[in-house]
Amino acid sequence: MKARPREASPLAGLSRRTVDSLGETVATLAPRPATLDELPEGIHRELGETLRAMGAARLYSHQLEAYERVRNGENVVVATATASGKSLCYKIPAFENAIASPRNRALFMYPTKALAQDQLGKIQNLKMRGVYPATYDRDTPKALRAGLRRRANVILTNPDMLNVGLLPFHEGPWADFFRNLKLVAVDEAHLLRGVFGSHVAAVLRRLRRVARLHGSDPKFVLTSATIANPLELAEVLVGLPFSLVDRDGASSGPRRVLFRNPPLKDAERGERRSMLTEGAFVFSRLVASGVRTIAFAKSRKSAELIYRYAADRLGPNLARRVSPYRAGYTVRERREIEGRLFRGELLGVVSTNALELGVDVGSLDAVVCCGYPGSVASIWQQWGRAGRGKEPSLAVYIAGRDSLDQYLYENPKKVLGRRVEAARLTLENPYILGPHLLAAAHESPLEEADERYFGFAYPQVVEGLVESGALVESGGRLHYVGGDSPARNISLRSADAGAVLVADGEGEVIGSVESRRAPMELHPGATYLHRGRAYEVEDLNLPAHSARVRRVPNRYYTKVRMETDVEVLEELRERDLANGATLRWGRVRTTDVVTFYKKVQVSDGREVGVFPLDLPPTEFETRAFWVTLPPVPPPPGGERPSFVEFLGALHAAEHAMIGLLPLFAMCDRGDIGGLSVAVHRETRLPTVFVYDGYPGGVGISERGYEAFEELARDTLGVLARCPCKDGCPACVQSPKCGNWNEPLSKAGSVNVLRYLLGQTRRHPAL
């Protein structure tokens, strides 16, 4: 498939007035020339001819270094910028192996099916002798699978299919593949952090174990964006020593960086115009000027709303040349949008991070990043989708209302000059490692020596599985005694198993939502957005994992109210703070119940009604840090104390700290939960909890515990600088608050943090 020929960059035609209307220029990044090397001596003649035909007669310096290290038998992680040709670092050695013998196999693992399909097309277009590529995922027709397993020597797949479709069948249809496996590539490895990364690490350890059972010892090549710890990440993911290649030899064009802050609507309340309408304004202005643009939103609903607002601005003719794009669309819908954008039929797309990855959608001119996407590394990854090669590009960051977005807007050097974050994951979480050990035992009975694959938590987790009866010892080995493959019960991307399918009145599936989010997003009466169209949920059947919706006019959105309880299970760490306050970290159990929802008018934000709900609770164990303050003394006269103001202070301090914690823990605000109570039923003290939003925890709250004083000081600075009087989304209000941001006291939160830091001795009820 050929993209349309490129003309002169439309950015050159933008007037200064137009650019100034989009935001404040905070940086102009100079172009960087390429560092090129000749093709290595001894490379196979046909492979060399193929590289020359695709425009790679000379390699970028990092491509050559990676090739030579792999040829020397090293495992390699390549960490360079977006669009720097990282895929050739694993394709060249894989193709060389295939040319040497068609029986040699390679496995290319991508985080999404879309990326695998995109890369398949590129490999097929090379038409190399001896190279037989194929994608193998859930979309592969069953009638074709047996033939692909026999013929293909380069398999492109994703972690989910490797988990359920390859490893459990290694003794049967995949035996020859694993016996001859020479190279494993893991693309976009920087995304493998938190829960998803921990699951994938366990899958890769199982892969190494299965390969060794068949007598093979494949080399690994991982590619990553420029995160702070690519070498550490690679070694934790795979469990082997790696060599780092991070001297980027690719060229880059000039990039202009703009920051935009939505203007204040109400200065006293600190209320700003919606980031979504601002994103729609910038996106539509660029598209109307002929600038091929992608806008990134933080959620599915945000992507749909930005698209809707932008389409209204553009009018019917230009609106046909823009589209939303997100997970939850059908495969056919996503391929159609990708193809139209690649061919130039679309001028713009509004996407979640689903297009942050390297799916080839042709040459883009501008990227609009609507809100903090969870890490500084992701901001750069999104900006890198435009201006590939020597082409100029425009990068726009639009701050949201919350504290972290406003903090970054005020401190652009935290984005432009800050060393990007480190990706973290863990193999210690028994909720993650346990199911994978059952899957590994199903693949081949476990032995004591398997600790070399699964790490130091292996003995403890195995012991728990034996005690529960899930594993049985026989002949010095541990056997899985269940029926079907346990890998089928593992959900790699969330703490849930499965998802809730969303179907319209005619039974056609139009999308899906994670099971644990279904009570919040698919409760009866909820507004569900899909491709700019609004649907109202008529029925949610959690046991059947299904929801039925009907099409309605796009007039309202909904927000839920949620009751949360936190039970302390085990205190693991503790230290004293100032003024008799105490900080703890440990295991907790959280319980959430969605009790009400309110309906809000899209046009003016007016609330039109509050409605009760009767839904089952959502419960899980996780990790949390919590702060306890000395008790509130009883008021004189023996009257019943009023905790409303005090609770508002604790609640606001909780929100403010959660708002800034992602800068310390490389996570999204949505990965963190919290609870504030004036008197907790177990501690019997004023208590603020901050917990990981996933079963077992992924290290977020532990990082908060370790850096608590620094987190509290920075949070206090945010509160002090915010110009609002009583609290706003830039300081203490949270868009995800289950109590609809009630009660909150900004002044009280300042006193709470000063008290915890020892800057004042004032407490009783502040």
Give the DSSP letter string of 458-516.
HHHHHHHHHHHTSEEEETTEEEE-SSS-GGGG--TTSSSSSEEEEE-TTS-EEEEEEGG
pLDDT per residue as tens digits for the range 32-49 = 899 999 998 888 888 999
Report if residue 483 sits inside a domain. Answer: yes
pLDDT band at 352 (very low <50, low <70, confident <90, very high): confident
**Cα 130 to the center of its chain, rounded Å:** 37
Q: What angle separates helix 88-100 from helix 61-71, to the nearest 10 degrees? A: 40
Residue 295 near residue 375, CB atoms below 8 Å: no
**Among residues 753, 657, 703, 691, which one has the least CA distance to residue 407?**
657
Least confident span in 128-137, 399-408, 741-750: 399-408
**Cα 301 to the center of its chain, rounded Å:** 16
Residue 199 near residue 167, CB atoms below 8 Å: no
Paired tokens of 720: 């002090």
Report if residue 422 sits inside a domain. Answer: no
Same domain for 641 and 590: yes
pLDDT, greater one: 329 or 339: 339
pLDDT of residue 4: 47
pLDDT per residue as tens digits for the range 109-136 = 998 887 888 899 889 988 898 999 999 9
Residue 432 near residue 404, CB atoms below 8 Å: no
Same domain for 44 and 25: no
- What is the Cα–Cα distance from 565 to 570, expressed in whole angstroms? 16
| 3-state SS class at 1 | coil
Least confident span in 181-185, 247-251, 492-496: 492-496
List strands edge to edge, sheet with 243-245.
133-135, 154-157, 105-109, 181-186, 219-224, 76-79, 243-245
Residue 201 near residue 234, CB atoms below 8 Å: no
Verify cis geometry, omega within 30 degrees of 0, for the bond prior to 743.
yes
- Using CA atoms, how far residue 91 sits from 155, 176, 385, in Å, is 12, 21, 21
| 3-state SS class at 429 | coil
pLDDT of residue 139: 85
pLDDT per residue as tens digits for the range 474-487 = 999 999 988 889 99
Which residues lie closer than 8 Å to 638 by C-beta, 6 or more apart?
none
pLDDT of residue 371: 92
Residues 303-308, mean pLDDT to the nearest whole number: 92
pLDDT, greater one: 3 or 715: 715
Percent of the chain, pLDDT > 90? 55
**Among residues 462, 496, 489, which one has the least CA distance to residue 478?**
462
- What is the Cα–Cα distance from 137 to 166, expressed in whole angstroms? 10
Name the average pLDDT for the chain.
89
Cα angle, residue 413 at apex, residues 408 and 416 outer, rounded to 5°: 100
Torsion, CA 441, CA 445, CA 448, CA 454, rounded to 10: -30
Q: Which long-range contacts (CB under 8 A, 24 or more apart) does 612-618 make?
A: 613/523, 613/524, 613/525, 613/560, 615/519, 615/523, 615/540, 616/519, 616/542, 617/591, 617/592, 617/593, 618/516, 618/519, 618/591, 618/592, 618/593
- According to DSSP, residue 389 is labeled T
Residues 228-233, mean pLDDT to the nearest whole number: 89
Report if residue 494 sits inside a domain. Answer: no
List beta partners, residue 243: 76
Same domain for 237 and 271: no
- What is the Cα–Cα distance from 60 to 606, expressed in whole angstroms? 56
- What is the Cα–Cα distance from 576 to 627, expressed in whole angstroms? 10
Report if residue 523 sits inside a domain. Answer: yes
- What is the Cα–Cα distance from 472 to 466, expressed in whole angstroms? 6
Same domain for 737 and 592: yes
Q: What angle separates helix 644-660 from helix 746-756, to the nearest 10 degrees? A: 70
The count of C-alpha atoms lying within 13 angstroms of the C-alpha of 267, restricted to the half-sphere facing its C-beta, is: 0
Domain range for 543 is: 499-554
Same domain for 288 and 206: no
- Number of other residues whose CB lies within 10 A of the CB of residue 571: 12
Mean pLDDT highest for which of 137-146, 187-196, 284-293, 693-702?
A: 284-293
Same domain for 79 and 20: no
Strands 582-601 and 556-576: antiparallel
Where does residue 702 rank: exposed (0-12), middle (13-18), buried (19+ CB within 10 A)? buried
Paired tokens of 227: 């995160």
* Residue where a domain terminates, one of 245, 264, 296: 245
pLDDT band at 420 (very low <50, low <70, confident <90, very high): low
Residue 356 has pLDDT above 70, yes or no: no
- Using CA atoms, how far residue 380 sits from 241, 349, 384, 419, 574, in Å, is 28, 18, 6, 12, 37
- According to DSSP, residue 694 is labeled S
Q: Write the CATH number for 350.
A: 3.40.50.300
| 3-state SS class at 575 | strand
Q: What are phi and psi of 379, to 5 degrees?
A: -60, -50
Same domain for 365 and 305: yes
- What is the Cα–Cα distance from 444 to 231, expressed in whole angstroms? 30
Tokens 């047996």 belong to residue:
146
Report if residue 331 sits inside a domain. Answer: yes
Same domain for 173 and 58: yes
- Using CA atoms, how far residue 53 sits from 127, 585, 638, in Å, is 11, 58, 88
- What is the Cα–Cα distance from 326 to 84, expressed in whole angstroms? 25
pLDDT band at 3 (very low <50, low <70, confident <90, very high): very low
Mean pLDDT highest for which of 505-509, 512-516, 605-609, 745-749?
A: 745-749
- Using CA atoms, how far residue 750 sits from 3, 538, 612, 715, 746, in Å, is 55, 44, 34, 9, 6
Least confident span in 324-338, 551-565, 649-663: 324-338
Least confident span in 323-332, 591-600, 656-665, 707-716: 323-332
Domain tally, the chain? 5
pLDDT band at 1 (very low <50, low <70, confident <90, very high): very low
Same domain for 327 and 300: yes
pLDDT of residue 483: 80
Residue 666 has pLDDT above 80, yes or no: no
Residue 309 has pLDDT above 60, yes or no: yes
Same domain for 659 and 536: no
Same domain for 363 and 406: yes
352-365 CB burial, b ≥16 within 10 A, e <16: bbbbbbbbbbbbbb
Residue 91 has pLDDT above 90, yes or no: yes
Paired tokens of 398: 């639009």
Report if residue 607 sits inside a domain. Answer: yes
Report if residue 601 sits inside a domain. Answer: yes
What's the start-to-end Cα distance of the chain, in Å? 66
Least confident span in 370-379, 486-495, 583-592: 486-495
Residue 641 has pLDDT above 60, yes or no: no
Report if residue 353 sits inside a domain. Answer: yes
Tokens 């900006």 belong to residue:
383
**Cα 441 to the center of its chain, rounded Å:** 30
- What is the Cα–Cα distance from 499 to 479, expressed in whole angstroms? 30
Residues 686-702, mean pLDDT to the nearest whole number: 89
- What is the Cα–Cα distance from 738 to 593, expressed in whole angstroms? 10
Q: What angle separates helix 194-213 from helix 430-443, to the nearest 10 degrees? A: 20
Q: What are phi and psi of 765, to 5 degrees?
A: 55, 10
- Number of other residues whose CB lies within 10 A of the CB of residue 174: 21
Same domain for 736 and 617: yes
The widest CA-to-CA distance across the chain, in whole angstroms, is 94
Give the DSSP letter string of 137-152.
STTS-HHHHHHHHHH-
Residue 635 has pLDDT above 70, yes or no: no
Residue 246 near residue 80, CB atoms below 8 Å: yes
Paired tokens of 172: 């049967």
If you compute the radius of gyration of the chain from its CA atoms, what whole number of angstroms results?
A: 27
**Cα 258 to the center of its chain, rounded Å:** 24
* Residue where a domain terminates, one of 201, 216, 245: 245
- Number of other residues whose CB lies within 10 A of the CB of residue 15: 9
pLDDT per residue as tens digits for the range 217-230 = 999 999 998 888 89
Residue 762 has pLDDT above 90, yes or no: no
Paired tokens of 622: 């996780």
* Residue where a domain terminates, one of 212, 245, 278: 245
Q: Do you know the residue count of the chain?
A: 766
